[in-house]
Chains A and B, each alone.
Chain A
Amino acid sequence: MSGGFEAIRPPGQLQGLRTWWTMLKISLEERLVYRGDFVLGTLMRFLPIVTQVFLWTAVFSATNRGDIAGYSRNDIVAYYLLTMLTRAFSSMPGLATSIARSVRDGSVKKFLIQPVDYVSFLLAARVAHKLVYYAVAVVPFGAVFLLCRGYFPPPPDATTIAAFLLSLALSFLLGFFMEATLGMLGFWFMEVSSIVFGYMLVQYLLSGHMFPIDLLAGVPTGLAGVSLADVVHWLPFEYTAYFSAAVWLGKVQGAQLAWSLGIEAAWVVVMAVACRVAWRRGTRRYSAFGG
């Protein structure tokens, strides 16, 4: 009898995986409800790039230079399209605000009493969100990239492609842990929307979403021999948009590529630890009342 009981009770490791799989499945089903909205929304997100393409074409027509900060007109177009791809991995819409809201309205307390880790749950939900997003977004993305294939240089070698894929995976984790950490600030501030906004502002400017970071190479910082681009390369933001695009376009190569991947991985670890620390400390000072 006791043997049978043990047979239906899976070992802890398997149970953990099963919980994770269930969390993933719930989120997948949730996301698939709005698939039509997804396709439309994804296509529309390419519209600002159209104006950027025309803007840069006009800029290049007015200068006699073949390239700007190492980017030809085609490189710039390819760059913007590739940053869209990177952003598809690193952007975490609503993550920070939803964490802060769960702290404010008390719904976070269920994760304090259930044997489900909140950060893991959020990660599983995001993985599901992204999987559905890619499954649906592959159509508009594929169509736009196919239409604009003329702007891209020949595909890079296998090593660069592997580095590109690795940078995308890391950008997902980096984006997740940065936003999740911001959301955890809700334990201290209750309302984090202004902090999130400040973050978004800095993120938009320094991630390379707006323009290639290489354009900042000529902007001095006041320190001898150190440009603004040099400073930005040490910050985590560019790894959520610029870096992967620059890798594919061959702007970061060799030792520099390995070094930058190292910085990106280090930032992922730093932010993951920060997120955990914020969760531990936050839940320690958190108090929930009533039902």
Chain B
Amino acid sequence: MNRYLAILLTFARACLVRDMTFRANFLLECVTSLGWMSMNLAFYLLVFTYTAEIGKGTGWSKEPFFAFVATGLIINSIVQAFFMPSAEELTEMVRTGGLDAVLVQPLDAQFLVSMHRIDFSSFANGAVGVGLLAWAVSRMDHAPPPVAWALYPLLIVCGVAILYGLVIMLAAATILMGRNQSLYDFWFYLTNFSRYPAEIYSGPWGGPLRMICTFVIPILLVVNVPARVIAQPFTGESWGGVAAAVIAAAASLVVSRIVFQRALARYRSASS
């Protein structure tokens, strides 16, 4: 474990050195992601000029909703920084046979495939997320109890783990199919569902969608559970969500590991 941590730190150092070599590009990437984020925040502010809350009686008024958005920013920035850059390179590695070089290393292939590149500019959104969370929580009617603050980091980790499981399954699909750009687009569109409180998915179409996105692909637990713990009154029912997030995270990690190993077993090198 210590060895893997040391290697991860080496990767991080190398990526940081690379980013700092092209400082203007690094700053531009930070500005880029901050630009998109600001635009979304502006949209939500505009929505709240027309309504007091998102969904009648859901409790997602302006401040709790922005705490929700902040939680999403933090989780997504971690996933974008640690896992997505490596996963995006995988398609090319499978196509060119570069994956062979990974497989002959005396290291776990999943670790190498998913964590060899770290994108530090993605932390910019996470930093804004932390600031936004502090602002939103300080303005909420009720202060989160200590237990909520204690659970929040754990649930953030669970959210990251669920998304990581999804990334790994897509990586497995890449290995099997050779190329799956559409599936990566699908990942983007799928995570789109996690951007809003689960309560908005109601009615004859929303109900089943909420079920699928909670129990089949637990994308709705990613942001909703930690955000609910911190931004809504903490009650006995909150523990149900916490348990669900922990189970979903563990299941995502285990299932994705199995799927990835099976995909690797069927990998045929593309290099000569």
Contacts and interface: CB of A to CB of B under 8 A. Distances in A.
Contacts of A14: none
Interface stretch (B114-122, B199-207, B236-244, B251-259): B199-207
Nearest to A36: B182
B182 A59 contact: no
Chain A interface helix/strand/loop/mixed? helix
A69 B181 CA distance: 39
Interface in B181-197: 181-182, 185-186, 189-190, 192-193, 195-196
A215 interface: yes
Given A59-B47, A61-B56, A37 B182 contact: yes
A61 B39 contact: no
Interface string A18-37: 00000000000000000001
Contacts of B49: 218
Interface residues of B, number: 35
For chain A, the bracket of interface size reads 20 to 34
B50 interface: yes
B208 interface: no
A74 to B, nearest CB: 14
A48 B52 contact: no
B54 A55 contact: yes
B185 A44 contact: yes
Contacts of A44: 182, 185-186, 189
A151 interface: no
A77 B39 CA distance: 21
Contacts of B39: 201, 204-205, 210
Contact of B192 (A47, A63, A216): A47
Interface of A: 37, 40-41, 44-45, 47-48, 50-51, 54-55, 57-59, 61-63, 65, 68-69, 194, 197-198, 201, 204-205, 210-211, 215-216, 218-219
23 contacts: A37-B181, A40-B182, A41-B182, A44-B186, A44-B189, A47-B192, A48-B189, A48-B192, A51-B193, A51-B196, A55-B196, A57-B200, A58-B58, A58-B199, A58-B200, A59-B54, A61-B55, A62-B52, A62-B53, A62-B55, A63-B52, A197-B32, A211-B47
